[in-house]
Amino acid sequence: MRLTHAVTTLAACCTFALACLSDGSVAGDDTSPVPTPDIAVAETSAPDTSVPAPDTATHPPETSAPDVQTTPETSAPAETSAPGETSVAPFVVHEWGTFTSVQDTKGRSQPGLHHEDEELPAFVHRRDLGPNAYFEELPEEPLQQLETPVIYFHSDRAREVVVEVDFPEGIISQWYPDATDYAPLPYEMSAIANGTMRWDLSVDPAIDPASFLAVSPEEIWAPSRNVASTPVRYVNGAFQEHEQFIFYRGLGNFELPVRTSAAEGDRVRIANDSDDDLAAVVILNRTADGGAVRVLGSLAARDSVAVPIPCALEPIDAYVAKAHAALVAAVVATGLYEDEAVAMVDTWTRSWFGNVGVRVLYLVPPSWTDRLLPIRITPAPDELVRTLVGRIEVLTSLDETETRDRIEKLGDAPTWQEVEATIDELGRFAEPRIRQAIEAHGTSPAGAWLLDAAHQRP
């Protein structure tokens, strides 16, 4: 829960609340009207994430599969039926994932993105990274966290598949099932760059989901399994791993051409500095007592928009339902099946809609995905859809003031317990928030200790 500090913060909150109008806008808005949203947001109840276990047959979309023109880079042609033979169902590959960054009031990306939001199951393979890692340390501070790319396969029959993913401006830090090969190898990482990974797998409708390693319904891993895709099998001698998908996660050291700034506290400016349109942009504002969502629709290339931060006037359940529906609709529009889109949004419901703060979500243009994460699949799928959602945690002037006040409250000689408690209160993005406050207001012994302790967190 975000705590309110001092008269300055209370006054800012009261002024902001009085400015909120019933439609979520702010009085005195002199910006051009926001384009009519492209996404219709349904008023629904909070999503039920307890979806039954998926059928192991090929995904049966209710409508015909979307016409996606993306052609994967591969070394072998797609398998087709010979003349006179029975037609074979298409081999379809779909992927979703997110990039997360933190930007300060001036739109500058803040480092310190190696901290995990929700813990992964123990069976996930990983590099042993971090400032306290036994095997290897990060050679530099990451600016982006690549979170839960998940690759689904849809095949009517068993087939051997090779998947190779490159991450030129990052490294892959966690993955499942196990990989055949990856780089850089342990002890050989000199920069957060030049990451690669290869999987040699069997895609087989006969794999029983009961053979998957168990996770509880509350774990972040569970929603991704609620998709009617074809399971995969990794084999290394007598050892096997079965799963509904390929999963990987990583850290990046690059900037994306989307900037946010919130120096005024009650407004956020979003700039698309690229030559590609953003198909959908959504602003979320979550407080301890409620939440609000504003769907901006598309944002044209080289364009920007300044809008009021939506006021948190809705009860949490209503806010979550509205935000969930908006994001599912946006993701389905990219060509993913509906159960895949629901699985993605369910996976991130706690993080996107539950964490206190202001954040901007946007659909990453496909050309950015192919540049950031080149992929090669053999045999080539008949259809490949890759959907990434960019997530920017927006640090407002109010966040900056609150963090400064917390540092000052610690005094010149805080106890270790006081330092740890302050980091807990600041949440997952404590390190970027502390960095922002120190850059804006100068450091102190307490600020330095707080930053160092936040950096050491896993």
- What pTM value is reported for the model? 0.78
What are the boundaries of each domain within the chain? 31-78+88-394, 398-456
Average pLDDT over residues 11-15: 37
Indicate the SS3 state at residue 59: coil
DSSP 8-state class, residue 74: -
Structure tokens at 418: 């006081």
Q: Tens digits of per-residue pLDDT, 179-223?
A: 999 999 988 999 999 999 999 999 999 999 999 999 999 999 999
List, in sequence order, the alpha helices (H) in 45-165.
none
Measured CA to CA in angstroms, residue 229 lies from 244, 330, 383 at distances of 7, 21, 14
Please state which of the ranges 304-318, 338-352, 369-383, 402-416 shows the lowest mean pLDDT: 402-416
For residue 189, give the 3-state DSSP assignment. coil
Backbone angles phi, psi at 440, to 5 degrees: -80, -35
pLDDT at 265: 67
Say how many C-beta atoms besides its own lie within 10 A of residue 18's C-beta.
Answer: 10
End-to-end CA distance of the chain: 20
pLDDT band per the 50, 70, 90 thresholds, residue 309: very high
Q: How is the chain split among helix, strand and coil, in percent rounded to 5?
A: 25, 30, 45
